Amino acid sequence: MKKLAALIAVVATGTLGSVASAATLDSVRERGFVNCGVGENFAGFFAPDSAGKWSGLDVDVCRALSAAIFGVADKVKYLPATPATRFAQLQSGQVDLLSRSVTWTLARDAGLGLTFSGVTFFDGQGFMVRKALAAKGLKGLDGATVCTQTGTTTELNLADYFRSHSMKYTPVVFETTDQVVAAYEAQRCDAYTTDKSTLAARLGKLKDPGAHVILPETISKAANGPVVRQGDGQWANIVRWTVNALVAAEELGVTSANVDQMKATSKDPETRRLLGADGELGKLMGLDNAWAFNAIKAVGNYGEIYERNLGPKGAVAIPRDGLNRLWSKGGLMFSPSFQ
């Protein structure tokens, strides 16, 4: 009887469902590559070149994951989706994770059966307007028509902001970023709103970039990072700790260039555990102990990834002067301990 009650409790709490889906690492290994859910095109974060080769900060997270699992960074298939279809893509098992500037919210975490697994970029929502409108700032948008993308936190923040400031607006909503930008350029709306990183990436690509400005105000907090299905703790840990490894490596001074030497000669206990010179941290997650070593060697630490994609020579330049700095330099990038 007790056993029956325990079984009912397990089913009721969904634990059984979790066990049933707890095999992402096994299926990734069997398949031979990671299915990485990205968006269609967002320079600096995820964008294919003319040969179909993907790059960007979010892409590098999937490359690091590939290296952590397979020892090399290119065992990844990139599957694009729009913001409106991305969660179904993950829930249905089409992808193993989304790594495409998804903002972490309670309703997504708890309501969609997802597990957010770290923050790779702190963002916030802003507005792009034509220069003539810029002088009055955000307040000047009372009564404006605003273009944005469906299925995003952007839509909700927009509604919250205007309601709480007793301002009126007319939303014009599209599924893809290209559609939003085309509508804004065709003057179908007075403003274009989304995460400020996207505004920065798109501004330079407008027909006449000098005619537009991004308003200084930021109306939201957006903690963006990779997300997996709920119920597979091992997989969530692998994604979360791969991101942590990239951040810890920056803090500990480990780079793609010095990682071999650091592994061989470092006397710092945490560096040695991170790189698998001591301890068996990788094994706890079902990985080789060189998982983080391989990830760092393949893609570099978080600072190198940021510089490559968002530095002055990156696909879009976003100065690393705010929350995305390491915690020790006044930012929020922080990794728990490798112990």
- Interface ranges with ligand GSH (CB under 6 A): 39-42, 82-83, 100-103, 149, 152-154, 177, 194-195, 198, 222, 224
At 19 the three-state DSSP class reads helix
Give per-residue burial for 128-163: e unless 16+ CB within 10 Å, then b: bbbeebbeeebebbeebbbbbbbebbbbebbeebbe
Q: Rounded to whole angstroms, how far apart are CA atoms 238 and 37?
A: 16
In whole angstroms, the minimum distance from the beta carbon of 180 to ligand GSH comes to 8
Three-state secondary structure string covering 172-241: EEECCHHHHHHHHHCCCCCEEEEEHHHHHHHHCCCCCHHHEEECCCCCCCEEECCEEECCCHHHHHHHHH
In whole angstroms, the minimum distance from the beta carbon of 223 to ligand GSH comes to 9
Q: What is the DSSP string of 149-179?
A: ETTSHHHHHHHHHHHHTT--EEEEEESSHHH
In whole angstroms, the minimum distance from the beta carbon of 277 to ligand GSH comes to 38
Q: Which is nearer to ligand GSH, 23 or 112 (CB)?
A: 112
Q: Which is nearer to ligand GSH, 224 or 271 (CB)?
A: 224
Which residue number is nearest to ligand GSH in terms of Cβ? Answer: 39
At 39 the three-state DSSP class reads coil
Q: Which is nearer to ligand GSH, 225 or 276 (CB)?
A: 225
Taken in order 145, 150, 151, 153, the sign of the CA dihedral is negative
Token pair 């309601």 is at which residue?
163
Tell me which residue of 106, 124, 92, 85 sits closest to 21, measured CA to CA.
Answer: 92
Q: Rounded to whole angstroms, how far apart are CA atoms 232 and 113?
A: 11
Q: Which is nearer to ligand GSH, 195 or 232 (CB)?
A: 195
Q: Which is nearer to ligand GSH, 56 or 300 (CB)?
A: 56
Q: Rounded to whole angstroms, how far apart are CA atoms 33 and 36?
A: 9
In whole angstroms, the minimum distance from the beta carbon of 127 to ligand GSH comes to 14
Q: Which amino acid is at 58?
A: D
Q: Which is nearer to ligand GSH, 103 or 266 (CB)?
A: 103
In whole angstroms, the minimum distance from the beta carbon of 193 to ligand GSH comes to 10
In whole angstroms, the minimum distance from the beta carbon of 206 to ligand GSH comes to 15
DSSP 311: S
Q: Rounded to whole angstroms, how far apart are CA atoms 186 and 174?
A: 14
In whole angstroms, the minimum distance from the beta carbon of 251 to ligand GSH comes to 26
Q: Which is nearer to ligand GSH, 89 or 230 (CB)?
A: 89
Q: Which is nearer to ligand GSH, 99 or 266 (CB)?
A: 99
In whole angstroms, the minimum distance from the beta carbon of 22 to ligand GSH comes to 26
